Every structure is written in C-alpha cells, then in structure tokens.
Amino acid sequence: RMAYPLAILTLVALVFLIAPGVPRSIVPIRNGAKSWIALTSTMTLQPSEFAKIAFVLAMAWHLRYRESYRTFLGLLAPFLIMFVPVALILKQPDLGTAMLFAPTLFAMLVAAGAKLRHLGTLAAIGVVVVGANVAIIAIDPPHAQSNSREDRLPSWVHVMKPHQEKRFAAMMWPERYAKREAFQGLTAKRMIAAGGLTGLGRERAAVLIRWNGLPEPHNDMIFAVICCRWGCVGGVIVVALYLVLTMSLGLIAVRSKDPFVRLSLVGFAAMIFTQAAYNIAMTLGMIPITGITLPFISYGGSSLLASFMMIGLALNFAARPPKWLARPSFEYEPTEVMLQ
C-alpha cells in the first residue's frame, strides 16, 4: 500500500532538484548535473537512486492483477508511468540512471505475462531510434559540425545533446577524442589490458592507475581497477557473482505465491543486473560512457544504500512468505484446453 506514496515522494524530490530558484547550497551541481540534495555540509542524497526502488514497487502494484497489458494499447499505461521519472532524471541530466528503467519494465512485463510480440515491436522501435541517432552522428560527427559546409545536416536533425553526441563519437573515433571525451574509456581499457590473466597485485596496480590518471577509479571505473589488480580472473568472478545474485532473486520470485512480491523481485533483479551490465560494458568500450555505478562495489552513499534496500526487501519477501495463496494473478482468457 505504500508503493504509490513512495513513488509520489520520490517524484517530488526529483522535481525539487530541477525547480528554478533552489539555492546551489541545497542542490549542488556536480559534473554539470543537479542530481543531489545536500543534507549537511558532508552528506548528500541522490533521489534518482531511490526512485528506482519506488518505480519497481509502484509498477509491481500496478501490474499485479491487471489484464490490460496483454494488448498492445494496454502497454501504454506502464510506459507512461515509466516516462514520468525518466523525464525528470533526464532533465538533471542523468542519462545513466534513466537508461535502467526501460529494461526493468520490459522484464517485469514479461514476468507479468505481456505478449512477446508486442514487447518485441516496442524494442524494435527503440533500436531503430537509437540506430538512426548513431547514423546521424556518423554522417555529421560533432568534430565536423564546426566546419561551414553546405552538406552538413540541419541542426534540428540532431536530437541528442552535443555532449551526448560526443560520447558516441568518442566510442566510434577514440583516437580523435583521445585527450578529451575518449580519455576515460581509453585509460580504462589500458588498465584492464595491463591486468592480464591474474592481475598486477595491489601495489603495482595502484601505482599504474595513479600515474595513468584514470578518472573516477573509485566510482564509475572501478571495474577497470578490479581487472588491473586481479586480472581477467577477478573480472569473471565479479560477473559470476552478479549472475548468482540475479538467479537467487529469480528463484525467490518463482517460489513466491504473491504476485506483487514476484514482480518486485523480478524488477530488483533486472535493475541490479542491468546496472552492472551497463557499467561493465562502458568500461570495456562496448557502449558510450555514462555516469553509472557498479552495484555494491562502487563508492557512493545513495547508490550503495539503494542497492542494499533492494536486497533487504528481497530478504524480507523470502523470510516471510504469505500463509495463504493470493488471489489469481496475471489472468488470461480461457483456452480451449482449459474449457474442456
């Protein structure tokens, strides 16, 4: 019953971050983003991290007994619910956190029984939109837009913001952006390569990372530190631990009799796994770099607290199963076999 009030509370906090007239002493700007609320001089709170939990709980409450998402138009309401926090988070701007919501929603809809062909159609539309934007960057890259040539694309074609386009361009032409946007990604890949199979050890890895100037080694780029210190073996172990955690949450969901609990656990598993996958992929240079932490490992108060809150709720669900079966959830139209 607290799912919707918690969701509204997090939305109010997200609106407060971008509201005009808020003093910078309360909402400081870090790396160009207004994502934190200063509680004290040394303690800040990032509402978008707790919005992830509230979104999963609110969506689980919304989907637990509904049949509407079995139709294509019925998917409109869940996506509209997702659009509100995503739009507010993008306004900060915080692209990394905003990217976690759509995969989480897809996983919850699959668990709830939405038709795969409907979700596949929406996923295909998203792939086309992203592919079109990447093609626009390839045709008219940011480093060429300053040249006054007639064959340049008009400005309205570029949907993404300039700094976002440069992130994609840095992934496609790292040598051109080696000293700017691509520096962080190139340095991270060098540290991963230097670790080899078993790593360099604590002291050698620390010296190498410090002298190469790896940005955010304790936060966004911590997977590169792991691979440099413990090598490929350490990186594989970290990935394996995330898979074990995801499967454990899935097993609790399968065992649960409550549809709200089942969907919440699927949402938590999808959120944590997607965040870990994004962080590792951007460190390896597979996707553009965005500000996103590695769950349970990266330094950060709000991120770490939110991750532990998800696990705490999962432990609560596992330790206190309902004594009675919940009323039937995910109701479908009766088939001929059922009628017989």
Q: pLDDT tens digits, residue range 118-146?
A: 888 888 988 888 888 888 777 777 766 55
pLDDT at 337: 47
> Which is nearest to 299 in space by CA: 192, 222, 208, 226?
222
From the list 289, 292, 168, the residue with the least C-alpha distance to 219 is: 292
DSSP 328: P
Give pLDDT, residue 65. Answer: 80
Is residue 93 within 8 Å of residue 160, measured between CB atoms? no
What is the 3 state secondary structure string of 306-326?
Answer: HHHHHHHHHHHHHHCCCCCCC
pTM for this one? 0.87
The string of DSSP letters for 167-204 reads HHHHHH-TTTTTTTTTHHHHHHHHHHHHHTTT---HHH
**Which pLDDT value is given to residue 176?**
79
Q: Which two tokens stand for residue 329?
A: 């959830």
What's the confidence (pLDDT) of residue 42? 79
* CA 54 to centroid of chain Cα atoms: 14
Amino acid 279: pLDDT: 94
Q: What is the pLDDT of residue 309?
A: 95
What's the distance, Cα to Cα, between the start and end of the chain in Å? 38
Rounded-to-integer distance, Cα 198 and Cα 260, Å: 43
The DSSP symbol for 327 reads S
Question: Using CA atoms, how far apart are residues 87 and 193, in angstroms rounded to an integer?
Answer: 37
DSSP per residue over 29-81, as a string?
-BTTB---EESSSS-EE-HHHHHHHHHHHHHHHHHSS--GGGSTGGGHHHHHH
Residues of the chain with pLDDT under 50: 149, 331-335, 337-339
Distance (Å, whole) CA 232 – CA 241: 14
